[in-house]
Amino acid sequence: MSFWLILVLAQDPLLPILAKQCGTCHTGKQAQGGLSMDSIEALKKGGKHGAALTPGLSAESLLVQYVTGEKTPRMPLGGELDAKAVSELRAAIDAMPKGAAVSKRDAHLDWLLKKPGAVPVPVVAQKSWVRNPIDAFVLAGLEKQGMKPATEASRRVLLRRIYFDLIGVPPSPEEMKNFEADTDPLAYEKAIDRLLADSRYGERWGRHWLDLVRYAESDGFAIDGERPTAWRYRDYVIRAHNQDKPYNVFVQEQLAGDEGKSKNQVALGFYRFAPWEADANSKKLLRQDFLNDITSTVGSVFLGMTTGCAQCHDHKYDPISHKDYYRMQAFFAGTAIADLPVGFEEAERPKEMRRKMREHEDAADAGQAELDRQKEALKQKYLSLNKDEEGLKKFLGKLNTRNLFFLEQDLPLVKEPEWREPLRRYFETRDGVQREQELARRHQAIAYAIRDVAPPAAPEIPDTYVLTGGDLNAKGEKVKAGFLSCVAGTEPAEIPFAGGSNGLRLALSDWIASDQNPFTARVMVNRIWQRHWGEGLVRTPSDFGKNGDVPSHPELLDWMANEFIAKGWSLKTMHKLMLTSATYRQASVNAEQATYAAKDPMNRLLWRMNWQRLDAEVLRDSILSISGRLNPEMGGPPVVFDVPADVAQGFEFFKWFPSSEEQQRRRSVYLLQRRSVLLPMAETFDAPNLSTSCARRLTTIVAPQALTLLNGALTRTEAKHFEARLAGAKDPVNEAFWLVLGRGPTAEERRMSEKLSLSSLGVVLFNLNEFLFVE
Amino acid sequence: MNRRQFTFGLSAAALSHLEAGTHHEAKADACIFLAMLGGVSQIDTFDPKPKLVDLDGKIMDWSKEKKTDQPNLFAKPRKFVASPFQFQKYGQSGREVSELLPHTAKMVDELAICRSVQSDNGNHPAAVFQMNTGFIIPGNPSMGAWVTYGLGTGNKNLPAFVAMPDFRSIPFSGAQQWGSGYLPAEFQGTVLRATNEPIRDLASPSNVDTEAEREALRGMNGNFAQLRSDYPDLRARMDSYELAYRMQLEVPRVLSIDAEPEHVKEAYGLNDPVTASFGRRCLMARKLVEAGVRFVEVFTPSQSWDAHGDIRKNHEKNARETDKPIAALLADLKQRGMLKKTLVVYMGEFGRTPDTPADQATPGRDHNTRCQSMWFAGGGMKGGSMIGTTDEIGHKAVENVYHMHDVHATILHQMGLNDMRLTYYFGGRNRRLTDLGGRLIKELV
């Protein structure tokens, strides 16, 4: 019998209205917000916001708070209960006997807000399975449910798994054959070491970090102006990963690379990746938007806390007050964006950068001289036909228009055949000049960074106020910089103003990158886990709060967080630990699949390995690598990919100058990340939108992906080169399968393959599920 | 029936948050959104201001006005500009429409006009973002993506959401204007071009035995999926190939305009180079909706209506390019009995000012977020209705004021969705197209 029916029978005939109002959404397994109203128990259990009902205490019951509008959105959505119904409801709840309703969610906060203590490794029955402590935690969970882990994956599957995971391209046939034949019991560990030392590791894992910080090489909005040397941050991230820079140092450099012990102004680019409306009407608003973006991004990226939710009011779920938000924001109040002259490091190839900049500048100058000559000739030509001064002025002005197409629209005169050729050459020369200028800008020793405002320009750090409703015109209480007040043992910092460097951000980074911070290590360890398993132990990697996912293995997470700190915040140590675990080495099928899937459909207990689809970049890089054409050049200015001519013509504020074909075959991480022009293939395969922090890529399966991989230029072009690569092989079909799948064909596959040209076979193999999904 | 079972794509992640299709009975199955980029002047189209005739050329005093959103605009003296266009009453409803839009005027009894829509930002990029995504900053799902997320598609062989920009000048931030933001990628708009290859990579290469490739791919993928029957994505991905093959057949058929009768081509203005570009896309929009596409957005060139320099010249040019095709679209939908279930929306990112800088020789009009005139047609809207009053100079909406969020709420409502309930959890909270909620423009439904 439903709760409402009980009330109806016991209380008042008005209450069926309530049942009608709430019952359509809050029922069954699909109940909105996880709150089912099917029974009193269900109401006590509550949904994601906690228990809906506190027996005996109507004022504390969320149900009442929502229907009265005390909490928003007011329920029922789009409607309102009348006062009489509400008072009946209150009475019914108050009449219930008071009980001890314990919220699971408060326990979650108790766990989250305290730094992990020492975590004992659990004792398990099947000791022989355990390779390292990770396995003990996982197995303990399985054994509690009477479940057993899957068998170990084949050597072939394991090697492909670690290649895609660590460097983002598949092993070559030789590497695969050698590994399968290797009798060294440590062959797998050695393969991991080799890949961790491979510079392609930084390219693969750097991309994960770039997703998080919404890395882009343009401003977004209308003009979407390029950030010509933003790539230096990208290369910094790749280098930091390859050097295994301790994560606490990595964090500190990005938050306070100008103030801390480890100096790095390029790392400050972290602050700059918010979209930026260069021609905004209100500079004050623009600055506030920038500060909001930083406050929210720092919270979600480093702390896994959705601080941004407290911009307009107290956080609705987590203990982050409206005031906390602005205290956090005050750490950044003294900053201003700045493009700083910062010399190239040795790793950035300073000589080459200087040489190329000079070359492009010289070419631009030469082009400009030629352009001036052509312009003068056009002017004379115009005057020979027409003596009109005003017309000449207009004509010369129109020469600055976007391209010949628009010039012809504005000045029909130039459609005459005699104008065509000189004008075509003029625009070609002008494009050449712009291209060289653009390339020169990309080689400048400029860091896309921030600086502290300093006397005399700004004698004081601007005050920070709590903004009611986030509205810049609704200034409330003045606040000083301070840490999240919910974290035990942290007091608001008061940092004395110290000249050019005000030390505020350093204080913040000291707090974040500290082994005492309850969030930082857990959040990062979970991110590493997520990239290896496809899902984190907390599946909402940037939201560890009440509204986020409940961790499947909190003790394991804590143990690993401690280990991360103890091992000097080394990512590579954590990779090795995770990848050598028996948990990671499991096959993607379990003998008890059917039973286990019914019990634990999301595999949260880790009774097998998860499948993962290749990321857009990995897919593209792998195809290029298999065709033998991936250009391994690392670092430097972005590579501009081709776009269709009609698309390029539609860009109003910039020109599109594709890089050479050879450059376009470099790894995807080096492709231009322009917010308004995403690589179409990457966009189709779920690459991030470059405007918001992306903690977890979605995996969609849509028909345009099939069209892209069947008919798109990447597959078709590379399949031709794949064919050429196979030309000399003794058994080309066999070689083709080894290159793409790391195994030979079955008899049936061979039969099917021999009906195809080798280039068609390439296309088929690039489209196979076995290629796109890593077991 | 749950329409989402026909989602354009399938994925475990996406299917897991599929709930019921509509929240209430839908009045419209499809929406065609006509985006008049740059901002149409209300004063010169649907909101006549006779008072401006008296004030024409007089200097305006803005000292009492809040100037925050456009400080540069109001820094210098400005003068009033009367509309250079004559108004006349049309139809049984007797609504006034200017001579700029003679064709639309004939359809005025189908229109539900709102003359009081306001928005938050007077800069094109931010305002275009708001028109398409509800927010003035990038990164949010477009309204077409929200509708598709809410309803899925009504067909198996075509994308659910199609965007048709004008490639002479694409909207700011390009694909983000029809992107899926933080929603799964399957809800993003598919760009359709008026070329031989309307969808990117649709056509198979000509010199290849694609049938043999298809067979081999089916065979090998089939064997692999059989071995791993526990993993549904493998089957889903095979299905997506079958859908792709059907699209290869269906899209060219649906979009073949050559086969349309001559009078239809003539009506949409395909025979006139001025109207051909917009006309072609309006006709494609009708054909797409007919084939079950859920949401179609047709764009004018970026900033095309942006009449700072010369209101007459600019608006005459843009009206000529769009007026006839739009009227033809309405008439065609009506004649086919489709207008009832197809919501057509006409709007820009903001309206325009009643004045121009005092020193400007040819009078123009600048950006105005305080009011614009927009209209709905079909899809359960009340034809011939009108709501919203602006002050006597057409500077600001003063009665029955609505917001861009309310337009979005109304679109969703007509399509059977409640804007408060159409949510997606992202970044710590439930997100909506209308942020904290919009109001239904109830006077027009």
d(C-alpha A495, C-alpha A512), whole Å? 16
Residue A402 covered by a domain: yes
- How close B298 gets to chain A, by Cα (Å)? 15
Distance in angstroms (rounded) separating the CA atoms of residues B311 and B314 = 5
Nearest by Cα to A676 from A690, A687, A664: A690
A425 found inside a domain: yes
**Domain presence at residue A70:** yes
**Is A263 a residue whose pLDDT tops 50?**
yes
Residue A45 lies in a domain: yes
pLDDT of residue A2: 35
Q: Is the dihedral of CA A108, A109, A112, A115 positive or negative?
A: negative
Indicate the pLDDT class of residue A315, thresholds 50, 70 and 90: confident
Q: What is the pLDDT of residues B272-326, one digit of tens each?
A: 989 999 999 999 999 999 999 999 999 998 889 999 889 999 999 999 999 999 9
Give the residue carrying structure tokens 């959103």. B69
Q: Rounded mean pLDDT of A196-221?
A: 95
Q: How high is the ipTM of this complex?
A: 0.83
Judge whether A415 lies within some domain: yes
- Residue A761 forms part of a structural domain: yes
Domains and CATH numbers, chain B: 3-444 (3.40.720.10)
Domain hosting A400: range is: 348-442
* Residue A574 Ramachandran class (φ > 0 left, ψ -120 to 50 alpha, else beta): alpha
Which chain A residue shows the shortest CA-CA distance from B440?
A: A78
User: Is residue A325 within 8 Å of residue A307, measured between CB atoms?
Assistant: yes
Asked if residue A762 belongs to a domain, the reply is yes
Residue B11, pLDDT > 70, answer no
- Per-residue pLDDT of A125-147, as tens digits, reads 999 999 999 999 999 999 999 99
Kind of pairing between the strands at B117-118 and B161-164: unpaired
CA distance A427 to B346: 37
**Distance, C-alpha A138 to centroid of its chain:** 27
Contact between A166 and A201 under an 8 Å Cβ cutoff? The reply is: yes
Residue of A nearest to B174 (CA): A676
- What's the pLDDT band for A12 if we cut at 50, 70, 90? very low
Buried (b) or exposed (e) across A555-567, using 16+ Cβ within 10 A? bbbbbbbbbbbee
Please state whether beta strands B374-377 and B111-114 pair in parallel, antiparallel, or not at all (unpaired).
antiparallel
- Spatial distance between the Cα atoms of A330 and A505, rounded to a whole number of angstroms: 9
B interface mutation test: which of A600, A679, A700, A760 has the most B CBs within 10 A?
Answer: A700
- C-alpha–C-alpha distance, residues A470 and A336, integer Å: 21
**Coil, strand or helix at A567:** coil
Structure tokens at A284: 């004050």
Alpha-carbon gap, residue A18 to A8, rounded angstroms: 10
Q: Would you state the structure tokens that stand for residue A133, as one six-digit string? A: 């402590």
Tell me which of A64, A86, A102 is where a domain ends.
Answer: A102
Q: A102, A121, A155 — which closes off a domain?
A: A102
Q: In the prediction, which pLDDT does A537 show?
A: 97
Q: Are strands B161-164 and B295-299 parallel, antiparallel or unpaired?
A: parallel
Q: Residue A626 is encoded by which pair of tokens?
A: 């298999």
Helices A758-766 & A732-741, crossing angle to 10 degrees? 20
- Rounded (10°) angle between helices A758-766 and A713-726: 130
* Residue A172, token pair as written in the block: 């070559």
Q: How confident is the model at residue A21 (pLDDT cuts 50, 70, 90)?
A: low
Please say if the pLDDT value at position A91 is more than 80.
no
pLDDT (0 to 100) of residue A141? 97
Please compute the mean of the pLDDT values over residues A427-447 and round it to a whole number.
96
Within 8 A by CB and 6+ apart from A725, the residues are: A627, A628, A739
Please state, in angstroms and as integers, the Cα–Cα distance from residue A264 to each residue in A250, A350, A356, A632, following that order.
10, 16, 24, 26
Q: Pairing relation of β-strands B30-35 and B295-299? A: parallel
Q: Is the pLDDT of residue A669 over 60?
A: yes
Look at residue A668 in the predicted model and tell me its pLDDT: 98
Through-space distance between the first and last CA atoms of chain A, rounded to whole angstroms: 46
Contact A50, A547 (CB under 8 A): no
Among B10, B165, B224, beta carbon nearest to A701 = B10
Contact yes or no for A578/A584 (Cβ under 8 A) = yes
Which of chain A's residues have a Cβ under 8 Å away from the Cβ of B176? 675-676, 689, 691
Among A337-341, A502-506, B70-74, B313-317, the range scoring the smallest mean pLDDT is: B70-74
Residue A417 neighbours by CB under 8 Å, 6+ apart: none
A533-to-A529, A530, B165 alpha-carbon distances in Å: 6, 5, 40
Q: Which of A442, A462, A483 is the last residue of a domain?
A: A442
Q: Is residue A186 assigned to a domain?
A: no
Sole residue written with tokens 């000048």: B169
Average pLDDT for B108-122: 95
Name the percent of chain B lying above pLDDT 90: 65
Dmax over CA atoms of chain B, in Å, equals: 82
Instruction: Dihedral sign for Cα A42, A47, A53, A54, please.
Output: positive
Q: For residue B246, what are the contacts with CB-CB under 8 A and spacing of at least 6?
A: B156, B157
Contact between chains at B179 and A646 (C-beta distance less than 8 A): no
Cβ-nearest to B244 among A32, A282, A707: A707
- Please provide the size of chain A in residues: 775
Q: Name the residue in chain B with its Cα closest to that of A591.
A: B230
What SS3 state is found at B97? strand
Q: Are A160 and A614 in contact (CB under 8 A)?
A: no
pTM for the model: 0.81
Average pLDDT over residues A430-454: 93
**CB–CB contact A707 B247 (8 Å):** yes
pLDDT, average across residues A454-478: 81
pLDDT in tens, A524-533: 999 999 999 9
**Candidate from A711, A753, A767 with C-beta closest to B203:** A711
A646 vs B contacts (CB less than 8 Å) = 167, 193, 195
Among residues B414, B329, B418, B331, the alpha carbon closest in space to that of B380 is found at: B414
A197: distance to nearest CA of chain B, Å? 33
What pLDDT does A100 receive? 44
Residues of A in contact with B428 (CB under 8 A): 300, 306, 308-309, 317-318, 543, 545, 547-548
For chain A, the domain total comes to 3
Contact between residue A691 and residue B426 where contact means Cβ atoms under 8 Å apart: no
pLDDT tens by residue, B335-383: 999 999 999 999 999 999 999 988 888 899 999 999 999 999 999 999 9
Mark yes or no for CB contact B8/A703 under 8 Å.
Answer: yes
* pLDDT tops 60 at residue A676: yes
Give the pLDDT score at A51: 79
pLDDT reported for residue A279: 78
Pairing of strands B59-60, B78-80: antiparallel
pLDDT digits 0-9 by tens, A188-197: 999 999 999 9
Assigned token pair, A519: 């969030």
| A299 neighbors A308 (Cβ within 8 angstroms) | yes
Phi first, then psi, for residue B231 (nearest 5°) are -110, 100
Q: pLDDT tens-digit profile of B205-214?
A: 988 899 999 9
Q: How many helices (H) and strands (E) in chain B? A: 11, 21
A503: Cα separation from own chain's centroid: 29
- 3-class SS of residue A220: coil
Find the residue in A nearest to B17 (Cα). A30
Contacts with A312 from chain B: Cβ below 8 Å: none
- What's residue A84's pLDDT? 74
CA pair distance B271, A211, nearest whole angstrom: 48
Q: Which of B71, B244, B429 sits opposite A703 (nearest CB)?
A: B244
What is the DSSP secondary structure assignment for residue A301, as one 8-state letter? I
pLDDT value of position B215: 95
Q: Residue A633: which region, alpha, beta or left (left: phi > 0; alpha: psi -120 to 50)?
A: beta
